[in-house]
Amino acid sequence: MPEGLGPLNLSDADIKGFEAVEAGRYNAEIASMTLDAVKNTSGTGATPAGTPMIKVRFKLISDMAGNTEGLENKSVFASYVVPPKDHDPKKAAVMKGMIARLFMALGNSEDEVRAKNFNPDFEDYVGRECVVTVGREPKKDQAGNTIEGEYNNPVKGVKAPGEVTAGGLL
């Protein structure tokens, strides 16, 4: 334990974890955007350890009808891997397309995003609104076995606010 921390009183800790939201589209805002790196040390990943990735936390604001009930303090997360130069060109183009669409949904033009010198300051995106499409999938343990009653909320897509309505695309 770190020096000076002393005994911990965790008697009132909330240990139930986070309840997954239903699959669907949600109005959201960027809560954080950071640069990290792939950590797959087992050698089984599609990209090598150390490959840069953009990690995004989306704070859910409301469903598409404007309802906020049950969304207090709810976030969903996405990681966008920046493919290495020697990655399969077709797969790299798809991965880069996902990153480009993210930045375009957050207000950058296609020309800005496709410029060879595009260098976004992640702090500038905090608070920007968007619409996220969220899935709901059974959570799995390290061995790939389904954990009964637990779910993940993968982000399936990001659109600009107003690009999607409760009934679908505008």
Residue type at 49 in one-letter notation: A
Look over the chain and give the mean of its residue pLDDT values, rounded to a whole number.
Answer: 89
Residue type at 104 in one-letter notation: M
Cα–Cα distance, 128 to 120 (Å, whole number): 14
pLDDT tens by residue, 141-165 = 888 899 998 899 999 999 999 887 6
Query: According to the model, what pLDDT value does residue 18 have?
Result: 73
| Token reading at 82 | 């920046």
Domain ranges for the chain = 24-169
pLDDT tens by residue, 84-135 = 999 999 999 999 999 999 999 999 999 999 999 999 999 999 999 999 999 9
Distance of CA 65 to the CA centre of its chain: 22
